[in-house]
């Protein structure tokens, strides 16, 4: 089987165990995980520490290969040696710590690193670097030394470095975990723009529920399994389940639930502060 035909990335009954130094399996990090991701989709993956999110992320571009089951990227099996390079270029990865991802002395040299490794001609590299920096809003820092940047700016440069390779999909593993609130917002805005305006498929792993709320679909993991998935409005209504899985309930949803308990007729789909404000104003105008 070549994977689901409407699916850009197909994870088919994937199990994975890390092996220790002795070569013995060290418990199951992924347990029969199946997931289809459509082209252009924005999927958030949430779950408590150790639930298997990073292990799953590394399967999406062949950094890890399934112990059993298969992962297909644009019709290519990640186990297929001959597609390894193609798959890495199709699915770009961004990790938590921008300092570990930045390699060069200036921002533009850093972003050029990937395209240079692709062996592209100099002019094309130049235009890709310029475009990538523009997309993440960092053009004016092209000649700056990366260490002079804020955390959010560094992470945007790291994203630009991946974008310059023209991936169709971006997998980001807790990209805002080390950032302050301003940096988090900058990076989230960048991610949304890449998805909405550039049509890049996004898989965002996050432990911030207010970030997951921005996705089209939320996948919840626990102990190596997918235990829940659906649109944010549906997944985040299940406050008891979220608590059971030791996930934070987004404050706005918590508030909406308390107000409903006090018989306030709020609509179901309140996920953001703006939606809460609109709903409350609506109620007030009806009184």
Ligand X SMILES: Nc1ncnc2c1ncn2[C@@H]1O[C@H](COP(=O)(O)OP(=O)(O)O)[C@@H](O)[C@H]1O
Q: Does 52 bind ligand X (CB under 6 A)?
A: yes
What is the SS3 assignment for 200-228?
CEEEEECCCHHHHCCCCEEEEEECCEEEE
Contact region with ligand X (CB under 6 A), list: 1-9, 44-52, 90-98, 247-255: 44-52
Indicate the residue among 26 and 180 with the shorter CB distance to ligand X. 26
- Closest approach of ligand X to the CB of residue 23, in Å: 13
Q: Tell me the CB-side half-sphere exposure of residue 102, using CA atoms within 13 A.
A: 26
> Using the rule CB under 6 A, is 175 a contact of ligand X?
no
Binding of Mg ion at residue 77 (CB under 5 A)?
no
Q: By CB under 6 A, is residue 217 in contact with ligand X?
A: no
Segment near ligand X (CB under 6 A), from 47-55, 116-124, 138-146, 181-189?
47-55
* 22 lines the binding site for ligand X (CB under 6 A): no
Stretch that binds Mg ion, among 53-61, 210-218, 235-243, 276-284 (CB under 5 A): 53-61
Taking the alpha carbons of 14, 20, 21, 23 in that order, is the dihedral positive or negative? negative
Query: Least distance to Mg ion from the beta carbon of 173, Å?
Result: 6
Q: How far apart are CA 171 and CA 44, in angstroms?
A: 10
- Can residue 47 be called a binding residue for ligand X (CB under 6 A)? yes
CA–CA gap between residue 62 and residue 97 (Å, rounded): 20
Candidates 2, 13, 18, 25; binder of ligand X (CB under 6 A) is: 18
Minimum CB separation of residue 263 from ligand X in Å reads 38
Burial 192-213 (b: 16+ CB within 10 A, else e): bebbeeeebbbbbbbbbbbbbb
Residue 246 is a binding residue for ligand X (CB under 6 A): no
Rg of the chain's alpha carbons, rounded to an integer? 20
To Mg ion, the closest distance from the beta carbon of 94 in angstroms equals 13
Q: Which of 2, 13, 25, 26 binds ligand X (CB under 6 A)?
A: 26
Question: How far, in Å, CA of 47 to CA of 39, rounded?
Answer: 23
From CA 249, how far away is CA 253, in angstroms rounded? 7
* 101 belongs to the binding site for Mg ion (CB under 5 A): no
Q: What sign has the CA pseudo-torsion 275, 278, 284, 287? A: negative
Q: Which pair of tokens denotes residue 48?
A: 């408590």
Nearer of residues 53 and 83 to ligand X, judged by Cβ: 53
| Site membership for Mg ion, residue 54 (CB under 5 A) | yes
Q: Does 50 sit near ligand X (CB under 6 A)? A: yes
Question: What does the buried/exposed string (b/e) look like for 100-114 if buried means 16 or more CB atoms within 10 Å of the residue's CB?
Answer: ebbeeeebbbbbbbb
For residue 215, give the 3-state DSSP assignment. Answer: coil
Minimal distance in Å, beta carbon 246 to ligand X?
A: 12
- Provide the token pair at 101: 């991802």
- Residue with smaller CB distance to ligand X, 54 or 155: 54
Which residues of this chain interact with ligand X, rule CB under 6 A? 18, 26, 29, 47, 49-55
């Amino acid at each position: 089987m070549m994977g689901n035909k409407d699916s850009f990335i197909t994870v088919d009954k994937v199990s994975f165990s890390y092996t220790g130094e002795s070569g013995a399996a060290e418990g199951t990090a992924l347990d029969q995980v199946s997931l289809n991701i459509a082209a252009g989709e924005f999927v958030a993956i949430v779950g408590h520490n150790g639930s298997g999110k990073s292990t799953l992320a590394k399967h999406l571009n062949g950094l890890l290969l399934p112990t059993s089951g298969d992962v297909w990227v644009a019709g290519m099996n990640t186990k297929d040696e001959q597609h390894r390079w193609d798959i890495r270029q199709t699915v770009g990865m961004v990790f938590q710590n921008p300092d570990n991802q930045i390699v060069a002395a200036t921002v533009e040299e850093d972003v050029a690193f990937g395209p240079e490794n692709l062996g592209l001609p100099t002019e094309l590299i130049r235009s890709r670097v310029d475009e990538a920096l523009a997309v993440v809003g960092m053009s004016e820092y092209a000649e700056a030394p990366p260490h002079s940047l804020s955390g959010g700016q560094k992470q945007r440069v790291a994203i630009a470095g991946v974008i310059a390779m023209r991936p169709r999909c971006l997998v980001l593993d807790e990209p805002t975990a080390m950032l302050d609130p301003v940096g988090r917002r900058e990076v989230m805005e960048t991610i949304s723009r890449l998805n909405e305006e550039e049509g890049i498929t996004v898989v965002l792993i996050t432990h911030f529920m207010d970030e997951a709320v921005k996705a089209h679909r939320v996948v919840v993991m626990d102990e190596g399994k997918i235990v829940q998935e659906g649109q944010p409005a549906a997944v985040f209504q299940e406050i008891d389940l979220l608590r059971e899985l030791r996930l934070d309930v987004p404050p706005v949803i918590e508030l909406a639930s308390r107000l409903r308990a006090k018989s306030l007729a709020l609509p179901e789909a309140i996920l953001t502060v703006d939606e809460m404000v609109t709903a409350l104003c609506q109620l007030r105008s009806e009184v």
